[in-house]
């Protein structure tokens, strides 16, 4: 019997080894326990996570590859989070999914794991778990859905939901027509086909070095996804033999490359909070400043919604991630390795751009400076972020009066009130949406515009929130404000009519209220009352231990790695 981790369960002639082997036999080969690597397939397939519903088919391809390479594949269903369905927000459960997966990986006799994810929170939670257990792990992204069309025009799922719903509110589209677009938007299996969080995290996972090179962005219905999944199964067995664990592969250089990629593809702001959390599990001191320092001057090369016009099927056709990375090769850290054991840059041999309207060249980018911008000032002492590529350029320097909403419910109740004291220059402020205040940090920062302004033709305004924004969304939105209002941040002290200054080029977000006046203010009773106060269960544990967005919003007792050792026997 080998010295592999699984041998702690299966080796020897004692009663406990007998129990472990006997209960697992059930038709598997008689030599399954004689040194063959045991590879779990952490599978987030679920009918309630529609973006991941096809992952059982992917898992079968992985199984075939693992068997072919001499391993034993073991399907391991893990917590799955459907972004469009889970209430109050999938982000509330990301840390729970990571913790549950971590514990199952550690508790079971496995030597390595293949991580199957797709929908927004599944890949981040799986990577957080694998980093904490530190056994060989490789990701398979489930892939985007195919392009849908409606009335002759392509529909970007998510992005066009926001656009079409605002047209309905503005009276420019009927409810009947809006409803009829549903089946056209979701054309096939797979996750969102825009450069939303799901697509972003799949591409960023490859840039980190955690996937088989070339797999990220493959459409979910494409047979090449199954081919790559089979190869990933084979790779997992090799990784166990070579001892390629997350702690040996993922370094600051890996995160450097992920940040460059995030900027070049025009990726979701949600990647910031996820990358911070993954780095935290590895003990890598990644900060918001790293995103600005590394990504700020990276050019935007990908013309996809919400920052552009195309969709993920077009991106894959045009050359995919490797074509993008080749254009910014000089900005990548060449020392960062992948799950193959080779550097990421070694896998960029002769990539081509097949459609320069979808993937721009370095000398003709869509935008020169596309990275996430980190803002600071008296309104966000420890930071806030904005995605300039998705914002209105004229609003990146702006000064306006605050219109304050205490909660999502308050905003929904009053946003369309014709008597709301608001104009196009106002700054909409929504608080109570941070990790503690909601709880769970929902995707509501891109709050809808007041109906009366929509009817006047206004389609963007400066918005400020301590919550998040969907990766499929767009607009001049300052989000992830820290500290959040519920944690004592200055956002809790903003009053209607206060002037706010946004200056993205200067990286400033300021509440233009004298320091002595601000110091004399107290948190309004209505603001405190709007913060959730759970008394039991996961929500109570979450609120008591969750950190702020600038550190990844992980639970304080989950930061870092606990390794794979389990000291005690079960019988």
Please tell me whether residues 478 and 520 are part of one structural domain.
Answer: yes
Burial of 430 (0-12, 13-18, 19+ CB in 10 A): buried
The predicted-structure confidence for 342-399, as pLDDT tens digits, reads as follows 999 999 988 899 999 999 999 999 999 878 999 999 999 999 999 998 899 999 999 9
Residues forming a β-bridge with 115: 42, 139
Q: In the structure encoding, which two tokens stand for residue 539, read together? A: 């929500």
Does 310 fall in a domain? Answer: yes
Range of the domain at 437: 373-533
The predicted-structure confidence for 69-93, as pLDDT tens digits, reads as follows 999 999 999 999 999 899 999 999 9
Find the Cα–Cα–Cα–Cα dihedral 265, 271, 277, 280, rounded to 10°: 20
Please tell me whether residues 155 and 301 are part of one structural domain.
Answer: no
Whole-number Å distance between alpha carbons of 4 and 241: 9
Give pLDDT, residue 175: 87
Does 331 fall in a domain? Answer: yes
Q: In the structure encoding, which two tokens stand for residue 156, read together? A: 């970007």
Give pLDDT, residue 156: 83
The predicted-structure confidence for 35-68, as pLDDT tens digits, reads as follows 899 999 999 999 999 999 999 999 999 999 999 9
Task: Classify 11 as helix, strand or coil.
Answer: coil
pTM: 0.95
Please tell me whether residues 207 and 250 are part of one structural domain.
Answer: yes
Task: Give the mean pLDDT of 290-301.
Answer: 94
Task: Classify 201 as helix, strand or coil.
Answer: helix
Please tell me whether residues 52 and 141 are part of one structural domain.
Answer: yes
Please tell me whether residues 281 and 259 are part of one structural domain.
Answer: yes
Q: For residue 2, name the pLDDT band (cuts at 50, 70, 90).
A: low
By residue count, the chain amounts to: 571
Tell me which DSSP letter residue 56 carries. H
CA distances from 107 to 5, 18, 72, 567, 569 (A): 11, 18, 17, 10, 10
Does 97 fall in a domain? Answer: yes
Q: For residue 1, name the pLDDT band (cuts at 50, 70, 90).
A: very low
CATH number of the domain encompassing residue 499: 3.50.30.80
Q: Are 378 and 499 in contact (CB under 8 A)?
A: no
Please tell me whether residues 66 and 163 are part of one structural domain.
Answer: no
Does 214 fall in a domain? Answer: yes
Does 548 fall in a domain? Answer: no
Q: For residue 533, name the pLDDT band (cuts at 50, 70, 90).
A: confident
More confident site: 354 or 34? 354
Q: Are 503 and 473 in contact (CB under 8 A)?
A: no
Please tell me whether residues 262 and 282 are part of one structural domain.
Answer: yes
Percent of the chain with pLDDT over 90: 83
Give pLDDT, residue 141: 98
Helix 197-208 vs helix 122-133: crossing angle, to nearest 10: 30
Please tell me whether residues 124 and 266 are part of one structural domain.
Answer: yes
* Model confidence at 294: pLDDT above 50: yes
Q: In the structure encoding, which two tokens stand for residue 118, read together? A: 């797709």
Does 82 fall in a domain? Answer: yes
The predicted-structure confidence for 420-440, as pLDDT tens digits, reads as follows 999 999 999 999 999 999 999
Domain count, the chain: 4
């Amino acid at each position: 019997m080998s010295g592999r981790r699984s041998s702690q369960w299966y080796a020897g002639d004692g009663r406990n080894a007998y129990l472990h082997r006997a209960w697992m036999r059930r038709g598997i080969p008689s030599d399954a326990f004689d040194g063959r690597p045991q590879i779990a397939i952490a599978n987030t397939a679920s009918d309630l996570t529609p973006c991941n519903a096809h992952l059982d088919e992917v898992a079968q391809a992985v199984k075939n590859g693992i068997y072919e390479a001499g391993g034993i594949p073991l399907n391991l269903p893990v917590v799955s989070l459907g972004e469009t369905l889970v209430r109050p927000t999938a982000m509330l459960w990301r840390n729970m999914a990571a913790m549950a997966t971590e514990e199952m990986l550690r508790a079971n006799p496995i030597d390595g794991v293949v991580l199957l994810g797709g929908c927004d929170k599944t890949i981040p939670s799986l990577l957080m778990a694998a980093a904490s257990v530190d056994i060989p792990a490789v990701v398979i992204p489930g892939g985007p859905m195919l392009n849908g069309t409606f009335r002759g025009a392509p529909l970007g799922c998510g992005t066009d939901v926001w656009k079409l719903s605002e047209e309905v509110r503005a009276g420019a589209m009927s409810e009947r027509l809006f409803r009829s677009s549903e089946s056209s938007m979701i054309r096939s299996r797979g996750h969102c086909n825009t450069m939303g969080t799901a697509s972003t995290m799949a591409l960023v996972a490859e840039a980190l070095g955690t996937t088989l090179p070339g797999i990220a962005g493959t459409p979910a219905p494409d047979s090449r996804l199954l081919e790559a999944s089979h190869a990933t199964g084979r790779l997992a067995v090799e990784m166990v033999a070579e001892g390629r664990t997350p702690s040996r592969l993922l370094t600051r250089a890996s995160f450097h490359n992920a940040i460059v990629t995030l900027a070049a593809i025009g990726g979701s702001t949600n990647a910031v909070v996820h990358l911070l959390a993954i780095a935290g599990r590895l003990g890598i001191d990644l900060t918001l400043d790293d995103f600005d320092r590394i990504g700020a001057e990276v050019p935007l090369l990908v013309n996809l919604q919400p920052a552009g016009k195309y969709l993920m099927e077009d991106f894959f056709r045009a050359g995919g991630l490797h074509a993008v990375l080749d254009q910014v090769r000089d900005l990548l850290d060449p020392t960062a390795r992948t799950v193959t054991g080779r550097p990421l840059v070694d896998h960029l041999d002769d990539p081509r751009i097949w459609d320069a309207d979808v993937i721009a060249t370095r000398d003709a980018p869509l935008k020169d400076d596309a990275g996430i911008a980190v803002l600071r000032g008296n309104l966000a002492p420890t930071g806030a972020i904005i995605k300039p590529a998705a914002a209105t350029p004229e609003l990146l320097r702006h000064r306006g009066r605050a219109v304050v909403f205490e909660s999502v419910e308050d905003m929904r109740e009053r946003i369309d009130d014709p008597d709301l004291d608001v104009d196009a220059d106002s700054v909409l402020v929504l608080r109570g949406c941070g990790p503690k205040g909601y709880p769970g940090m929902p995707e509501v920062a891109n709050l809808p515009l007041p109906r009366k302004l929509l009817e006047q033709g206004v389609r963007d305004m400066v918005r400020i929130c301590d919550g998040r924004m969907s990766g499929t969304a767009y607009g001049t939105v300052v989000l992830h404000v820290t500290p959040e209002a519920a944690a004592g941040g200055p956002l809790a002290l903003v009053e209607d009519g206060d002037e706010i200054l946004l200056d993205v080029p200067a990286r400033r977000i300021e509440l233009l209220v004298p320091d002595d006046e601000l110091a004399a203010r107290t948190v309004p009773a209505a603001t405190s009352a709007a913060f959730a106060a759970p008394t039991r269960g996961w929500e109570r544990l979450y609120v008591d231990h969750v950190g702020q967005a600038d550190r990844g919003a992980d639970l304080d007792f989950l930061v870092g790695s606990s390794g794979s050792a389990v000291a005690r026997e079960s019988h």
